[in-house]
């Protein structure tokens, strides 16, 4: 996930990505406990590639949706319009009550993304966000196709 996001260079071969990527690996990145929530919204939004104009239109919605810092970060993330969205399992660190509140926004975010790359062990969340899947193991594709088919192969290892 960090390779197509540009965080890592390939050890061999090359990576080609066509589209604007929004990587969401750690919801706490870009949040400063020393500044206000609204300033954190601006900082996090800029890190995700949003313009100041886009942030100006969305800051009230983000602030209303958000509660503590990690929740504020998720509030910002769910308002972006990425071509390629990369999400990791860090969403599992959010408490169940807030995840239920955020679920509709996450599903909408996945639909707005041209491509969603999502690593998770939650079949339920995968089912809500994904239709197709690729099982990668040590850098190699082990299975690809419909989500249920790939999950079945993965579990039958």
Q: How confident is the model at residue 95 (pLDDT cuts 50, 70, 90)?
A: confident
CA distance 126 to 25: 16
Render pLDDT for 14-40 as a digit per residue (tens, 0 to 9): 888 888 887 776 666 667 878 888 888
* Topology of domain 2-119, CATH: Rossmann fold (3.40.50)
CA distance 71 to 99: 9
Annotated domain spans of the chain? 2-119
Render pLDDT for 121-144 as a digit per residue (tens, 0 to 9): 888 888 988 999 999 898 889 999
**Judging by beta carbons within 10 Å of its beta carbon (0-12, 13-18, 19+), is residue 79 exposed, middle or buried?**
buried
Question: What's residue 144's pLDDT?
Answer: 97
Helix (H) or strand (E) holding 97: helix 96-112
Report whether pLDDT(72) > 60: yes
Higher pLDDT, 22 or 153: 153
Give percent of the chain with pLDDT exceeding 90: 17
């Amino acid at each position: 996930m960090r390779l197509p996001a540009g965080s890592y260079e390939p050890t061999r071969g090359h990576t080609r990505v066509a589209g604007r990527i929004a990587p969401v690996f750690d919801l706490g990145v870009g949040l400063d406990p020393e500044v206000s929530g609204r300033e954190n919204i601006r900082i996090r939004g800029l890190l995700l590639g949003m313009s100041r104009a886009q942030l100006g239109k969305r800051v009230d919605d983000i602030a209303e949706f958000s509660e503590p810092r990690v929740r504020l970060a998720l509030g910002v993330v769910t308002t972006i319009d990425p071509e390629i969205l990369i999400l990791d399992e860090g969403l599992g660190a959010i408490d169940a009550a807030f995840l239920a509140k955020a679920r509709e926004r996450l599903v909408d975010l996945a639909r707005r993304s041209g491509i969603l790359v999502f690593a998770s062990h939650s079949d339920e969340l995968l089912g809500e966000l994904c239709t197709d899947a690729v099982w990668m193991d040590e850098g190699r594709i082990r299975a690809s196709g419909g989500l249920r088919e790939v999950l079945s192969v993965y579990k039958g290892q």
